[in-house]
Amino acid sequence: MTATDHISGTDRLAEVVSILGLKDEEVIVNLQGDEIGVPAELVHQVAKNCHDHPDHSIATIYERIDNEKDINDPNVVKVVFDKNNTALYFSRSTIPHRKKSQAEGHGQQQSYFKHIGLYAYRVAYLKKFSATPACELERCESLEQLRALYTGEKIYLEEACTSAGIGIDTEEDISMARQQMAHENTSL
């Protein structure tokens, strides 16, 4: 239904809003297809955050990481942000990096945050995004939101108001999602 040569889902979404002729000020939510079981509350949360923070080009959400496996898993995208909930960087690497003394328990406990693949944008920004070439950071990490940060755009973050479900990045994730869906179907 859209061109086959898009670099990212955001580029694809920009084509869709163009085809639909949406107005520049409309807010669009992009729920990535590999995020299974995302509740409607989260879609409303990012849309409201985009609407309420017009000085930011994108709104998205995160969850706290509470286990060592996810902290070190390159399939789990980590995010760091400033005191105003504006993204500083997204990475597949562990960010922030722990010094050896901190890893051994001799430093202050560090919090880690997992990015959830749910974004809200205004149509005008989607058009601008798709007209901007991918940057080296985006290609290196395979994270489209880095194109926005690279060009100086602001991304607003908020902790997810409820559990986001399962992000499908590995065979193990697919198995977990299938088990969860089978359990939910037998509970009905």
The Cα 162–Cα 120 span in angstroms is 17
* CA-CA-CA-CA torsion sign (34, 39, 45, 51): positive
At residue 176 the predicted structure's pLDDT band, cuts being 50, 70 and 90, is confident
What number of other Cβ atoms are within 10 A of residue 3's Cβ?
8
What CA–CA distances, in Å, run from 103 to 96, 108, 179? 12, 10, 34
Identify the CATH class of 9-187: alpha beta
pLDDT, tens digit, 9 for 90 and up, residues 115-163:
998 999 999 999 999 999 999 999 999 999 999 999 999 999 999 999 8
Distance in Å from the first CA to the final CA of the chain:
34
At residue 82 the predicted structure's pLDDT band, cuts being 50, 70 and 90, is very high
The Cα 78–Cα 74 span in angstroms is 9
For the cut 60, the answer to whether the pLDDT of residue 3 exceeds it is: yes
Q: What percent of the chain has pLDDT over 90?
A: 64
For the cut 60, the answer to whether the pLDDT of residue 84 exceeds it is: yes
Q: Domain residue spans in the chain?
A: 9-187
In order, the DSSP letters of 112-139 are -EEEEEEEEEEHHHHHHHHTSPPPHHHH
Label residue 119 left, alpha or beta by phi (over 0 means left) and psi (-120 to 50 means alpha): beta
The Cα 11–Cα 2 span in angstroms is 10
Q: What is the mean pLDDT of the chain?
A: 88
- Count Cβ neighbours within 10 Å for each residue of 25-63 and write b for 16 or more, e otherwise: eebbbbbbeebbebeeebeebbbebbeebeebbbbbbbb
